[in-house]
Structure 1
Amino acid sequence: MKVIAVDIDNVLNNFSDTLAKSTFAFKDSYGLSLEEFDNYLDLVKHDVFAKSEFLTTKFSDFRHRIHEQCYPLAQANPDGVQFMNWLKANGWKIVICTKRNLRLTGECTKKWLLDNHIPYDYLITALNKIVFCKLWGVPYLIDDDLLNITYAERYGIQIYYPLMAKHSSVVSQTAKGFTRFEEIKQWIQE
């Protein structure tokens, strides 16, 4: 069986660009002072995590609420949509593998995938995609995360990533960067 895992944000869409260009109004419902709001928003827009010993904090709640506003606004990558439909037409099982908290954003994520004509067989939240792929026998992963790009090969996972500025430090011998999804076809048909 041919099976592949594909990330959503910054792979199938332009999430970071959407986040950077969007404006967010201060609301009392955030439960923050204006100063905290401005500080937290700057951290979220620069993809910086506020350090904490707790899993849930005022910052993590705020970050989720800002991301939740961007999920439906992010534009699908037409090349990625075409590739996903090619996968489905050629008998691949597609696992959408995301770090999104699908308990909270599952419905809007499913709607976005449907609205953008992106086929999939499974929709999974995985904070560690390498472990997920290894345990579930998924040999291929398309993802933009530096950790996954750096370590996937150690666990027998072949990884492909969209070339982005943040990938300039990648030294992996087997991870393959791409500018168009079309390039991946040759690599998964070998």
Structure 2
Amino acid sequence: MKLQSLVLAAATALTMTSAFAVPAGTWSVAAGAHMVDPKSDNGTLSVGDVEVDDDIRPTISGEYFVADNVGVELLAAIPFHHDIYLPDIDVEASTQHLPPTLSLQYHFDNDMMPMNIKPFVGVGVNYTTFFKEKIAIAGDLDLDDSVGVAGHVGLDIPFAPTEAFRIDARYMDIKTDVSLDGQDLGEVDISPWVYGVAFVKQF
């Protein structure tokens, strides 16, 4: 179904029950898809400017509520693929990466929100590992792993007591040192916004 249809279906199916806190000890799983959208200015290497494109992949996250409305979430995904372009020397490259992210999140009670929407915010740590680096000229391209701060905001739109449709956005601080045949070329600043939708189930 198209995103617009999903939102409409979720809105029309909302229950009229009162809002309650998510109790401590609750688990939730969210399965969906996210787009990693790197910032527009990805930096300058010793060989010139760098451009990194976006990519969409399936994602899954698990969250455990350590206190009422307070959860610890781990995000995982199928490897993202990014094409890299060096316009000053007209050379293309590519890489894959995995960006597991651990966040502490607060889910607001939705007493005052329309349609029982439940917003949440979170902050955490992102670890990004790069692999299968390739470049269209001879040489061994290497991108170092990255550790940085991650922020998270989103909305859960319930359509059953333990099920919801989620729209969310994350900011990830991802910077990587780049080398070719062991020679340092400089730093690439990817630092993307990550936009997604997911189906959420509580247990």
TM-score (norm 2): 0.24
Q: Which has the higher strand share?
A: 2
TM-score (norm 1): 0.25
Larger Rg: 2
Q: Which has the higher helix share?
A: 1
